A and B are shown apart, each in its own frame.
Chain A
């Protein structure tokens, strides 16, 4: 007599179906975007903004990809806001905005602007606001185990891994016309990624840095008034 066929799904699939939706929900990011704004900041059609990254001679530094992301995102959602390409600006202002020579505080701005040709060159670029990015994305925790095997009959992995990334960035906005700081925007984003593996590893990645980029760019667009808040929409 034939035994009745077990209709239940394999254990691996059952586990995956059970925890999958939970993991999808869990692979999210938690964002806090804050801003401090000096009253009376207004931008007109002729003014442009440039996004620059602070450079430090240590391991932590704003990633080039993040600066590029904020620049592109701000240009996309900024409406009438003009975003000047950072490499063009730094080349045009050489040697005054190089990593080792750029002013660290606004106190150094008047002296910088007094150098021959600097004020005129800034006027030619049209840049009024300089946004200095500082911060980085770091892996703050990780855990889990996973083992993979390969045999002539096939291969696969079994296990579960996770890691948590924290993206802490700060954007300080300088007004070159008044040689002063007009405000600050910060983004603190954390996200936990998971990778369950039942034969095939399934990465559930929390895009922490991308979320920080979107949040910061959106807040900068509002700060600089390039686009009304409602026009920016949600991510």
Chain B
């Protein structure tokens, strides 16, 4: 029976080699590039609305991640972390005279702290696309947010979906930087849209006019 030993050893070695090769191939095919997003949105150059608002940040804003599966290529995992929440916090602090962060919508409605509005921002989606010969030579990113606003009587003021688009030139051997740049540009684009277009939403304009009338009316 001793003569069978070498054969077993060879078979074991073959198995190990096959296993390593398979693991390597699997590892290559399932390769994922992780991209943490760090950005600071500049200070917006706008006049704030003279209102006191409560903001309830959707939990998804504080730790958002998106994985884009690329067929036959590297998958990309974009980690936005709390970048969205920091962005909204900065924008709202310049868009309104006073902003108070609350832990829930119910708290904002129940506390009766004299909020003119309660705002609830959320992230809906992030899509990214690497360069493609047929479509675009750039890394591209699309980001979609939803901003719900209610008056103090819980009546909806606006349910607004706002998007941002960004693209960046690919860099040789460094797709992470280009994808980071595209995502940051998309966030900045959305931020610019929020700052400029929030006040232009028809229902928001009506609410602003209503607030102006209320604040102008003499108190009894």
Contacts and interface: CB of A to CB of B under 8 A. Distances in A.
B42 A94 contact: yes
A99 B138 CA distance: 15
B42 A116 contact: no
Contacts of B165: 57, 100
A121 B192 contact: no
B196 A117 contact: no
A131 B98 CA distance: 38
A98 B42 CA distance: 11
A166 to B, nearest CB: 16
Interface stretch (B43-51, B54-62, B100-108): B43-51
A96 interface: yes
Interface string A56-86: 0111010111000000000000000000000
A118 B138 CA distance: 32
A contact residues, range: 20 to 34
Contacts of B137: 59
A92 B46 contact: no
A162 B185 CA distance: 36
Contacts of A6: none
Contact of A94 (B136, B164, B192): B192
Interface residues of B, number: 23
Nearest to A96: B45
Contact of B192 (A59, A100, A115): A100
B189 interface: yes
A59 B133 CA distance: 10
A63 B169 CA distance: 8
A98 B189 contact: yes
Nearest to A116: B47
Interface core residue of B45, B167, B169, B185 (most chain A CB under 10 Å) = B45
A118 B45 contact: yes
A12 interface: no
Nearest to B140: A57
A144 interface: no
A103 interface: no
Interface core residue of A64, A101, A116, A121 (most chain B CB under 10 Å) = A101
B209 interface: no
A95 B195 contact: yes
Interface in B158-195: 164-165, 167, 169, 185, 188-189, 191-193, 195
Given A64-B169, A99-B185, A100-B165, A93 B45 contact: yes
5 contacts: A95-B191, A100-B165, A100-B189, A117-B45, A118-B45
